[in-house]
Amino acid sequence: MNNLFADRITDVPRSFIREILKDALQPGTISFAGGLPNRDLFPLEAISSASEKVFSGIGRDVLQYSSSEGYEPLREFISAQYAEKGLDIPVGNILITSGSQQGLDLLGKVLLNDGDGLVIEEPGYLGAIQAFALYRPEFIPVTVDENGMDCDLLAEKLQQHSPKLFYTVPNFQNPSGITYPNANREKVAALVKKTNAYFIEDNPYGDLRFSGEHQTSFKHWLPEQTVLLGSFSKTVVPGFRLGWIAAPTSLMEKLIIAKQAADLHTNQLSQCIVHQYIVDNDLNAHIREIVAAYGKQKDAMQSAIEKHFPKEVRHTNPEGGMFLWATLPEGASALKLFEIAAEKKVLFVPGDPFYINQTHKNTLRLNYSCVDQATIVEGIERLACAMQELGCL
């Protein structure tokens, strides 16, 4: 069996994160390398009760083949949630997906021919880079930082390219934790409006704000172009793989065809359980609990960083979400730091995989959602020692 692979898959490397973490997880190691929600906050009992109600209430129909668009009451809830935020998204424009990761795959499948332009944040979300890479676009990276997307660079790239798609995580971005301020959003939207392209606003962390003010969705400025991706993974549970696409009508028919071809429909039991959970419980109160915990953990990490890291190391100041991003002095390699840190039993993700074709970057992603405050302090101290040893001064 020789050379049978499609070109699209031969380009994709094995998971960088998996590879580097494979041998690093020794006992006693503190990991800021994860990307998981905190399992201690999962509403296990409420989900279990919702499950019993679904079996006794809906019965056999929850076990049968179901609609490709998704469970109607759940789609109605999502539509109503958008309405509360001032966004008019009819139920017919919402497609339930097997996690928002599948939303990325379906959008790539429906929109991208080989070589089509795709504007992506740099640093950008690794899962999106992987999903889109299979459709072989030309990635057009545009820098993001705490001021949002670099509009001068974006304008320059739009003079050179005619992208079909923009991909952004404007709230508490993975990996950097940054949020685009409204003023920046308005400028980005003005540039995007001139293009013939869809604009993806991926928003898995949007509800997890622990400080600052809610910023406006791009849908407000780009009503016909914006595709919203949402997820229950960070607010309810991730193991159910439940997300959604809220897309303009122009896209929906093709997305449904792609969804049918991909897996017929999303797991029906989990859709019904999450809906029942939402009906029986105060989801906003549950989210406030998550936000309070992550906020404290983020504060613990930030204080420890400011106390222990060399002054030359910069870091973002996330107002929500699960990640903080640190930048070593120019020329320092986060990959080298990783090796030293792993010996000191503390892990993080070096920045490299979040860039298109750049290596030995001086950046790193630190996750604070899964580690308690005391352990965070200990881990940051170890990491500071590793930085001293690397010579980040």
In the window 100-129, what residues touch a copy of itself (CB under 8 A)? 101-102, 104-105, 109-113, 116, 127
Q: Which residues pair with 12 in a beta bridge?
A: none
Identify residues 33-62 at the interface with a copy of itself (CB under 8 A).
36-37, 39-40, 42, 44, 47-48, 51-52, 55-56, 59-62
Stretch of 88-96, 117-125, 238-246, 317-325 lying at the interface with a copy of itself (CB under 8 A):
238-246
CA distances in angstroms from 293 to 78, 195, 215, 268, 290, listed in the order given: 25, 41, 22, 31, 5
Q: Using CB under 8 A, pick the residue from 81, 216, 267, 333 that binds a copy of itself.
A: 267
Stretch of 96-104, 213-221, 300-308, 351-359 lying at the interface with a copy of itself (CB under 8 A):
96-104
Q: Using CB under 8 A, pick the residue from 23, 27, 159, 196 that binds a copy of itself.
A: 196
Which strands make up the sheet holding 363-367, listed edge to edge?
314-315, 323-327, 363-367, 349-350
Q: Using CB under 8 A, pick the residue from 26, 260, 284, 359 that binds a copy of itself.
A: 260
Q: Using CB under 8 A, pick the residue from 1, 23, 160, 330 that binds a copy of itself.
A: 1
Residues contacting 38, CB < 8 A, separation 6+: 290, 293, 294, 369, 370
Size of the chain in residues: 393
Q: Using CB under 8 A, pick the residue from 119, 208, 258, 337 that binds a copy of itself.
A: 258
Surface-to-core class of residue 125, CB atoms within 10 Å of its CB (0-12 exposed, 13-18 middle, 19+ buried): buried
In whole angstroms, the minimum distance from the beta carbon of 349 to a copy of itself comes to 15
The count of chain residues that interact with a copy of itself, using the rule CB under 8 A, is 80
Residues contacting 128, CB < 8 A, separation 6+: 104, 120, 167, 202
- Does 289 sit near a copy of itself (CB under 8 A)? no
For residue 173, what are its two tokens? Answer: 């971005």
In whole angstroms, the minimum distance from the beta carbon of 211 to a copy of itself comes to 26
In whole angstroms, the minimum distance from the beta carbon of 249 to a copy of itself comes to 10
Identify residues 301-340 at the interface with a copy of itself (CB under 8 A).
none
Q: Which residue, 119 or 304, has its beta carbon nearer to a copy of itself?
A: 119
Identify residues 163-192 at the interface with a copy of itself (CB under 8 A).
164
For residue 39, what are its two tokens? Answer: 């399992």
Which strands make up the sheet holding 226-231, listed edge to edge?
94-98, 242-246, 226-231, 198-202, 165-168, 117-122, 138-145, 148-149
Exposed e or buried b for every residue in 39-51, given b needs 16+ CB within 10 A? eebbbeebbebbb
Identify residues 138-167 at the interface with a copy of itself (CB under 8 A).
164
